[in-house]
Copies of this chain bind each other. A is one copy, B any other.
C-alpha cells in the first residue's frame, strides 16, 4: 500500500460513479477522523466522457483500462460502480492485488459469481484486505435509528413487516427500451434493482435472515420501442413476495417500476408486539415510531432524525437541517474507511450481498413454480 492518503479509484462514472465520487470528495470534510483519501483515478470505457466526468467530479486522473488501474501502487481502494456483469472480474482482480474493495449492489448478476466474490473476500480478509458491498440505505440515519430501536426492544418482538419499493419511471408504456430491460445485460428487473434494497433492509433492521419465499414476477409492458422498432422486455416490471425469517417473522414485499406517482418510494412498516416503526424514503429524514401502546395518548410519532445523538448526524448540521439522498454515500465511505483503518470487517459484507441474492433467487424460482414456497439456500452452501 502507498503511504500518505489512501488512493481511491472509482470504476464507472455514470449515476453511481457520480454518487460515489461525491462521497470521496466530501468524506473528510464531515468525518475528519477517517484516513485521508486522494481521488486518484476515475475509470470508464469512453475516454472522452470519463475525462469530462473526472474533471467535473474532482479526480486527479482518468483511465479506460481498469485492469491497469487496479494494479497501480498508488491505488489503495477500488470502488466498483459498473453494471453488475463486471463486478466479479473487477472485484477479484482488485482483491488479488491487495486493494480494499467497495462494490455497488448487487454483488453480481449470477450466483456463481457472487459465491466466487464471497470466497475471494474471505481469503483477502486474512491478508488484511477489506471488502464491502454498498447498500447505501444502511446509512440513512432514520433506518439506523430504527434498527437501534428494534434491537433495544422498543417495539417488542417483531411479527410482521410490510415493505415496498415503488417507482414509476416505466409507467408510461411508450418509455423507450434500455439495456436495463434486457435480461442478458441487467440480470434481472425491478426485483434485483429495488427488491435487493428491501431484502437487505430486512436483514439489517431485524438481524434475522429470510429463509423462505413465495413470489410472483410480472412484466406489464412486454415490448417497448427500440431504435429499430419494438423490442421485447425480458425482465420483470413488478414483483411481489411473502417472506419468512429464521425467527418466524413474515414480511410482505412489493416492488414496481410502474407505480404511477411514486418516485422513490421505499416504504417499510415493522410491527412488533409492543410497537411499530414506519419509514418512507421520499421522507428520508423522518421515522415513524410507535411505542407505549397503552398510553392514553399513544400514536405513531414522526421523529425528525436530525439530532446530534442520531446516527451519523453529529457530523452534519443542526437539528432540522435535513440531509439528502447522497449523504448516505458519504457516511458509507466514512464507515468503509474507518473499517480499513481499524482493521475490522466493514458492513455489509460480500456475504451479506450474497444472502440478498439468494433470497431474490428464491423469489424468482417461486414465481416460476406458480408461487410455491421455496426455501432459501443456506449460508455456507456455496
* A residues neighboring B (CB under 8 Å): 15, 18-19, 21-22, 25-26, 28-29, 32, 52, 55-58, 145, 149, 154-156, 159-160, 162, 164, 166-169, 171-173, 214, 216, 218, 220, 238, 240, 242, 250, 252, 254, 256, 258-265, 269, 271-276, 281-285, 287, 289-291, 293, 296-304, 306-307, 309-310, 316-327, 366, 370-373
Q: Are B145 and A297 in contact (CB under 8 A)?
A: yes
Contacts of A327 in B (CB 8 A): 324
Question: Nearest-CB distance from A280 to chain B (Å)?
Answer: 11
Q: Are A261 and B293 in contact (CB under 8 A)?
A: yes
Q: Are B322 and A317 in contact (CB under 8 A)?
A: no
Contacts of A302 in B (CB 8 A): 299-302
Knowing A58-B29, A265-B320, A302-B299, say if A242 contacts B260 (CB, 8 Å). Answer: no
Question: Nearest-CB distance from A320 to chain B (Å)?
Answer: 3
Knowing A159-B220, A299-B303, A301-B301, say if A259 contacts B240 (CB, 8 Å). Answer: no
What is the count of identical protomers in the complex? 4
Q: Are A306 and B57 in contact (CB under 8 A)?
A: no
Contacts of A290 in B (CB 8 A): 260-261, 301
Contacts of A276 in B (CB 8 A): 259-262
Chain B residue at minimum C-beta to C-beta distance from A36: B55
Knowing A258-B160, A371-B371, say if A301 contacts B293 (CB, 8 Å). Answer: no
What 7 A-B pairs have minimum CB-CB distances, sorted nearest first? A264-B320, A263-B320, A324-B324, A299-B301, A299-B303, A214-B371, A261-B290
Q: Are A299 and B310 in contact (CB under 8 A)?
A: no
Partner of A284, one of B262, B310, B322: B322
Partner of A260, one of B164, B265, B274: B274
Knowing A160-B259, A216-B250, say if A289 contacts B282 (CB, 8 Å). Answer: no
Partner of A300, one of B264, B284, B301: B301
Contacts of A282 in B (CB 8 A): 285, 304, 320, 322
Question: Nearest-CB distance from A146 to chain B (Å)?
Answer: 9
Contacts of A281 in B (CB 8 A): 320
Q: Are A22 and B26 in contact (CB under 8 A)?
A: yes
Question: Nearest-CB distance from A118 to chain B (Å)?
Answer: 29
Q: Are B256 and A254 in contact (CB under 8 A)?
A: no
Contacts of A154 in B (CB 8 A): 297
Q: Are A25 and B28 in contact (CB under 8 A)?
A: no
Residue of A281, A317, A322 contacting most chain B CB atoms (<10 Å): A322
Knowing A263-B319, A297-B154, A371-B214, say if A173 contacts B326 (CB, 8 Å). Answer: no
Q: Are A264 and B216 in contact (CB under 8 A)?
A: no
Question: Nearest-CB distance from A367 to chain B (Å)?
Answer: 10
**C-alpha gap A300/B321 in the complex (Å):** 17
Q: Are A19 and B293 in contact (CB under 8 A)?
A: no
**C-alpha gap A302/B261 in the complex (Å):** 10
Contacts of A318 in B (CB 8 A): 15, 169, 264
Q: Are A260 and B293 in contact (CB under 8 A)?
A: yes
**C-alpha gap A306/B168 in the complex (Å):** 13
28 A-B contacts, Cβ less than 8 Å apart? A28-B56, A159-B220, A160-B254, A160-B256, A160-B259, A162-B164, A169-B319, A171-B274, A172-B293, A214-B371, A216-B242, A240-B250, A252-B254, A256-B271, A260-B271, A261-B271, A262-B271, A262-B320, A264-B319, A265-B320, A284-B322, A291-B297, A296-B307, A296-B309, A297-B301, A297-B303, A298-B301, A324-B324
Contacts of A273 in B (CB 8 A): 171-173, 260
Question: Nearest-CB distance from A262 to chain B (Å)?
Answer: 8
Chain B residue at minimum C-beta to C-beta distance from A57: B29
